Chains A and B, each alone.
Chain A
Amino acid sequence: GAGVSQSPSNKVTEKGKDVELRCDPISGHTALYWYRQSLGQGLEFLIYFQGNSAPDKSGLPSDRFSAERTGGSVSTLTIQRTQQEDSAVYLCASSLSKTGELFFGEGSRLTVL
């Protein structure tokens, strides 16, 4: 597609369940970022992938969070044993290079009951 695609757009889950959020970046973009935006808060960096390099995971808030990027394209963010404080909009962005303009997806809104 023409833009960054994220799914699901909305996810409601029960506390303790695992969730997977998917990001399909713009074709050819080597850099992929995950961010989180909690209600009333600014964006928070989670993880960064660049080509075949080891990802920068320094923003992941706990070991319940993990992400992978298969074949340098689609990325999945997994949250295990979800907690209510994980409720947020999870945004994915991609760029042509690590110093390029960012293109954002519409986000996945996660609600943990």
Chain B
Amino acid sequence: KNEVEQSPQNLTAQEGEFITINCSYSVGISALHWLQQHPGGGIVSLFMLSSGKKKHGRLIATINIQEKHSSLHITASHPRDSAVYICAVRKGGSEKLVFGKGMKLTVNP
């Protein structure tokens, strides 16, 4: 079993929909990252969380340390949100990141 699991693996939505992407992990962590990878490969860091909730524009990320679970929410989704969303955790006591396999989001106009 992978240490970081993301669900769903693929998601197609209509423009304007509220989207939730889930990430569960099975190890102790010091931080969790949400990353966005557009076609062509460029990766952008969206959030780094160790507790609670963060918001940036239409994106909200939450983490529940006790349940070992994080969610990334996209409000009022737009076709430009189409990308692969990757969850990664920094294991406690390590500088390495362990990555989920990513979730491919397609938002249709």
Contact = CB atoms under 8 A, between A and B. Distances in A.
Interface string B6-48: 0000000000000000000000001101010000011111001
Contacts of B48: 100-102
Interface residues of A, number: 27
A49 to B, nearest CB: 10
What range describes how many residues of B lie at the interface?
Answer: 20 to 34
A42 B100 contact: yes
A37 B96 CA distance: 15
A50 B100 contact: no
A99 B45 CA distance: 13
A99 B30 contact: yes
Contacts of A25: none
Interface of B is mostly: strand
Contact of B96 (A59, A100, A102, A107): A59
Given A101-B48, A102-B33, A56 B42 contact: no
A58 B33 CA distance: 21
**Which 6 A-B pairs rank lowest in CB-CB distance, beginning with the nearest?**
A104-B43, A43-B99, A42-B101, A42-B99, A45-B96, A107-B41
Interface of A: 31, 33, 35, 37, 41-45, 48, 50, 56, 58-59, 89, 91, 93, 98-104, 106-107, 109
Given A42-B86, A58-B96, 14 more contacts: A33-B97, A41-B101, A42-B101, A43-B88, A48-B96, A99-B90, A101-B48, A102-B35, A102-B97, A103-B45, A104-B43, A104-B44, A104-B45, A109-B41
